[in-house]
Amino acid sequence: MEPPLVGKSRTGSRTSRRSIFGVAFTCLLLAFPTGATTFKIATLSPAGSTWMNILRAAAEEVDAATEGRVSFRFYPGGAMGDDWAVLRKIRAGQLHGGVVTTTVFNRIYSDVQLYNLPLIFRDLSEVDAVRAQLDRVLLAGMERNGFVAFGIAEVGMAYAMSRRPAATLQAMRRAKVWSPEGDISVARALDTFGIAPIPLTVVDVLPGLQTGLIDTVASPPVAAVALQWHTQLDYVLDIPLMYVYGLLAVSERRFRRLSDADAAAVRRILGNAVAEADRRNRGDHDATMQVLISQGLKLETPAPDELANWRRLGKQAEVRWVREGIISDGLYRQLVAALAAARGTAATVTAPDASSSVARGRSGAPARRIGRASRR
């Protein structure tokens, strides 16, 4: 007869078995994922739009490539609010990403607004030359600041569109000009041009035009049509004021949940999707402008001296953006060098601290503080 084991009991035996089973179960959990990582993505783009069709196709491709481990749920048509509301919900964990314009990142990674510099580009071929060099720099900066962006998608050149003629700066200064609420960079630019804007959220612009609260917007043609603003406008000033673009970006914290293989698949597929949207938007930009003109929107061509005045003040706005830290001096210099190479000219950078270069079109023109238009 074997001697009894000291300290051995039925309770101890059961505890030991539970431990073994617990370790085995944990190993199984690690080996086989128990569910998908879902990304909730919001956008102002309406259901059925080019953007949404591309995104849904990409989501299906991701689902197949990751065998269901990564999925996407979309909230189109502003269902989650404007871009600022989307950012707040990302921070709160209610959303994980969005298709948004650069404005909302002005306190997170302001340099992503680099291509928004007023009147910096004269045509879209210049945009292409600069983006070929600097897109990857901006996307890397986004990731360092907490967001994984899968690419930059063009919306187009913003033009001033109004309900009455405004072919001169003086006429524009008398207009009731909209500026995006919370957009510091646009407010600074308009101030440099001597224009006192009326800040409104994007969703308040159409009611504002309908009620006469505002009568002028700066927008790419595609956005003006998608948001129905064009139905309230009669004139367009033929000056490309600002290049507008969007990002498909998700929380870097959420993205870290993915395995290396799944993360690589998502980057590849969504990167291709954004590139496709970027290509399609270029064609839509030109076609939509022609449609607007054919439907009666009157194209106003500024006189040469007026155009020179816009560009002179645009240069001052560049300096102001750098001086106030909206854009870093280093990236600004890279953009100027790339632009000079595209134009075949020498790069010229005005020192941001040169006080003689930052005189405003109308000193300290404040934003008009008017309540939001009622939503209908």
Q: Is the pLDDT of residue 259 over 50?
A: yes
What pLDDT sits at residue 126? 95
The answer to whether residue 322 sits within a structural domain is yes
* Structural contact between residues 77 and 133, judged by C-beta atoms closer than 8 angstroms: no
Burial 181-210 (b: 16+ CB within 10 A, else e): bbbbbbbbbbbbbbbbbbbbbbbbbbbbbe
Q: Is the pLDDT of residue 226 over 90?
A: no
The answer to whether residue 372 sits within a structural domain is no
**Residue 278 to residue 320: CA distance in whole angstroms:** 29
**Residue 205 to residue 215: CA distance in whole angstroms:** 10
Q: Is the pLDDT of residue 136 over 50?
A: yes
For residue 200, give the CATH number of its domain: 3.40.190.170
The answer to whether residue 139 sits within a structural domain is yes
pTM for the predicted model, two decimal places: 0.81
Res. 26 pLDDT band, cuts 50 70 90? very low
Q: Is the pLDDT of residue 45 over 90?
A: no
**Residue 217 to residue 234: CA distance in whole angstroms:** 11
The answer to whether residue 28 sits within a structural domain is no
CB count within 10 Å of CB 86 equals 24
The answer to whether residue 270 sits within a structural domain is yes
Q: Show the domain range for 234.
A: 34-357
* Residue range 307-330, pLDDT digits in tens: 999 999 999 999 999 999 999 999
* Residue range 56-89, pLDDT digits in tens: 999 999 999 999 999 999 999 999 998 999 999 9
The answer to whether residue 96 sits within a structural domain is yes
Of 30, 348, 332, 40, the residue nearest 185 (C-alpha): 332
**Residue 72 to residue 60: CA distance in whole angstroms:** 9
What percentage of the chain reaches a pLDDT higher than 90? 72
The answer to whether residue 317 sits within a structural domain is yes
Phi then psi for residue 49, to 5 deg, are: -75, 165
Who wins on pLDDT, 31 or 142? Answer: 142
What pLDDT sits at residue 367? 43
The answer to whether residue 26 sits within a structural domain is no
Domain count, the chain: 1
Residues forming a β-bridge with 43: 99
